[in-house]
Amino acid sequence: MNMMALSNDFSESEQTLNLNELCVQHPTATYFVRASGDSMIDAGIHCDDVLVVDRSITARDGDIVVANLDHSFTVKKLELSPTIRLLPMNKADSDHQPQEIDQESVFDVFGVVTFVVHAIR
């Protein structure tokens, strides 16, 4: 009898933690994308990691953003001043250079990266 009462308690207790609650604040405005390459390795973004991108957040200086630059999507650190630039975060590899956003480039921020899902095995 006691066990019955207890099991009722079980079913009424809070649900199991859901990772979505932690990582997805705005479900309607959140998209997942997958990173490729190692240009953002210093930010903890490795190749094949899944990025949680929130479009409802307005990007600020220093945010890591997914942006559409000249019709291709890229993940970089956004610098707003003095000029708008997209900064790679990989000190070890000098191949990755900051990209200036000038008047002619087609540029818009797709969304702000809020979480990185990285598999370690």
Partner 1 sequence: MFAHVYCPDLLIQCEHLFRPELKSQPLIVYESITHQGSELIKLLACSPQARELGFKMGLGSEQLGQLIKQHSSTQESQTLVKCLPNRELYADLSKRLFSSLEMLAPSVTPVAGDEAYLDLTNLKRLTHSSQKVKGSPEDLDLETGKQQLQDFTYELRNSIEQWLGLEILIGVGATKTLAYLGCMAAEHDCNHRPINPSYGKRDEHRGITILTDSEFSQSVLAKFSTSRIRGIGSKTLNKLSTLGIHNALELSQASSQQIGKRCSVLVEHLAIELAGLTSQLTSERVVENQFDSKQLRTSQTLSDAAKTKRADKLMGYEIQESLANYAKAHLKAHTKGHGKNSIANSLLRVVVAMLLNAHKELIERQLICHEIEIILERTDMHAQGEIFVDNKSISLAEPIESLGPIKTLCRQIFENMFRDKTHYHSIGLTLKCLDQYKAKQVSLFEEAMETEKLLHLDKNDQSFKLIQRYCELHDMSKQRKSPHKQSGLPKSPSYTSQWHELLRVN
**Residue 22 or residue 34: which is nearer to partner 1 going by CB?**
34
Q: How far apart, in whole angstroms, are the C-alpha atoms of residue 45 and residue 86?
A: 15
Among 10, 13, 21, 71, which residue sits at the site for partner 1 (rule: CB under 8 A)?
71
Q: How far apart, in whole angstroms, are the C-alpha atoms of residue 30 and residue 55?
A: 6
94 catalytic, yes or no? no
* Of 105, 116, 106, nearest in space to 54 by CA: 116
91 catalytic, yes or no? no
Cβ-count burial of 39 within 10 angstroms (0-12 exposed, 13-18 middle, 19+ buried)? buried
Residues between 41 and 60 that touch partner 1 (CB under 8 A): 50-51, 55-56, 58
* DSSP label at residue 21: H
Among 2, 11, 72, 94, which residue sits at the site for partner 1 (rule: CB under 8 A)?
72
Binding site for partner 1 (CB under 8 A): 26-29, 31-37, 39, 50-51, 55-56, 58, 66, 68, 71-75, 106, 110
Q: Which residues are catalytic?
A: 39, 76
